[in-house]
Amino acid sequence: MIDFPQERAQTFLTQFRTLVECESPSNDPRSLAASARLIAEIGEQITGIRPHIRTIEGFPHVHFQVGTGPRRVLLLGHHDTVWPRGTLASIPWSVDGDAVSGPGTDDMKGGILIALHALGALLRHAGEEQLDGVSVLITADEELGSPTSRPLIEELSRDAEAVLVFESGGPAGQVKVARKGVAIYELEVVGRAAHAGVEPDRGVNATVEVSHQVLAIDRIGTPDGSTTVVPAVMQSGTTTNTVPAGATVGVDSRAITVAEQERVDRELRGLRSVHPEAELILHGGINRPPLEERFAADLFERAREIAAALGHPPLEVIRVGGGSDANFTAGVGTPTLDGLGTVGGGSHADDEHALLSWIPRRVELTASLVDSLLRDPVARPAADGRLRRVRQRRASLRRVSP
């Protein structure tokens, strides 16, 4: 087992503040570039490895690679945040007892450092030769849905033996073994305009039609909430004296299995207009496959045993509805465990914070888990035809009603 000495914990805290105070909103290329350079510098100090910054469409992704051998274990995180530049003025870095606060502390600048310090500890423990094939990828667009980093994530994880993801853990230190898959749609209704006062019968009212469709969409989810299909933002019409010629409704869907994602997709594409002259056009599709628990089960059992051997509190699991890049790594069939980052709370909120007492535990757990996986990899789950179909599907536009 690998421990994290107290003197390194102080170094961690200094680096943590430096990262947090380098603001990195997802939509600010200059800030992201500065953040990537800082991560490269700090990461090289910790590991001795000079990373490659891979900039794709303006988004700088930082990749640390040990050796040149086949990919074995990937440590995955992101350095972009949801906080706009200037947030530090109202939510500054602060330390209050066990809690450190500031934008990005829990999501996920602390997680970045946990991954890098774990790799540094491994290199001191086993040496570079023994870690050949281990890598760390810190992306720059996760909060936007990973539009440029997804191909890179899938490339690096597809042939790996395991992926560890450093999103924050549960409030009691749980790791995340399941995440719902995400699908985003927009249903467009095409009607026909007419004067609302003079000849409304000549129109095809898109507001009325979209209202029927919203009720139909609302019935697609499951009663127990395991699959959610939520009609969200809706827009229709132009003026009060015009029969609306167009309307749209955005739909957010979450499901715990690929089979449920496909069922929802079929039902949405099977919607039919109530008015015979209204036209329905469905945009969008499945964005992230689910992190199904079977991809995390063996990794969690290994982590649970290691945490016990390290004398940590009993390691438990949590299942969440939100997506992360773990969805993509499980989606290509690689064993994946998420939630190995900081333990705290308030992600995306004014009270975002991380607990200092958990940081050494997370570094020790990660380093010991990677060391164990290099000696004895977990089994790869059997291939699933549904996963292959989801990976091949692209966001689509399809006319679903004449």
338-378 residue pLDDT tens: 999 999 999 999 999 999 999 999 999 999 999 999 999 99
The residues annotated as belonging to the active site are 80, 142
Taking 60 as the threshold, does the pLDDT of residue 201 lie above it? yes
DSSP, collapsed to helix, strand or coil, labels residue 272 as coil
- Segment 35-64 shows an average pLDDT of 98
The span from the CA of 190 to the CA of 178, in Å, is: 38
DSSP, collapsed to helix, strand or coil, labels residue 162 as strand
In the chain, CATH 3.40.630.10 covers 6-178+290-385
Determine whether 258 is exposed, middle or buried from the number of CB atoms within 10 Å of its CB (0-12, 13-18, 19+).
buried
Mean pLDDT of the chain: 93
In 3D space, the residue among 240, 253, 246, 57 whose CA is nearest the CA of residue 139 turns out to be: 57
In the chain, CATH 3.30.70.360 covers 181-289
User: Contact 43/18 with Cβ under 8 angstroms?
Assistant: no
pLDDT band at 383 (very low <50, low <70, confident <90, very high): low
Q: Which two tokens stand for residue 391?
A: 């990976």
DSSP, collapsed to helix, strand or coil, labels residue 207 as helix
Alpha helix positions (H), 21-109: 29-47
Determine whether 44 is exposed, middle or buried from the number of CB atoms within 10 Å of its CB (0-12, 13-18, 19+).
middle
Q: Which CATH number fits domain 181-289: 3.65.10.10, 3.30.70.360, 1.10.10.10, 1.10.260.30?
A: 3.30.70.360
**pLDDT of 384:** 58
Q: Which two tokens stand for residue 180?
A: 């719902």
User: Contact 79/28 with Cβ under 8 angstroms?
Assistant: no
pLDDT band at 137 (very low <50, low <70, confident <90, very high): very high
User: Contact 138/344 with Cβ under 8 angstroms?
Assistant: no
Integer angstrom CA distances of residue 97 from 91, 185, 355, 357, 381: 17, 45, 9, 10, 43
* CA gyration radius, the chain: 24
- Segment 236-255 shows an average pLDDT of 97
Taking 90 as the threshold, does the pLDDT of residue 27 lie above it? yes
pLDDT band at 402 (very low <50, low <70, confident <90, very high): very low
Domain 6-178+290-385 classification at class level: alpha beta
Does residue 181 or residue 387 have the better pLDDT? 181
Integer angstrom CA distances of residue 384 from 179, 282, 367, 389: 17, 27, 31, 9
pTM: 0.86
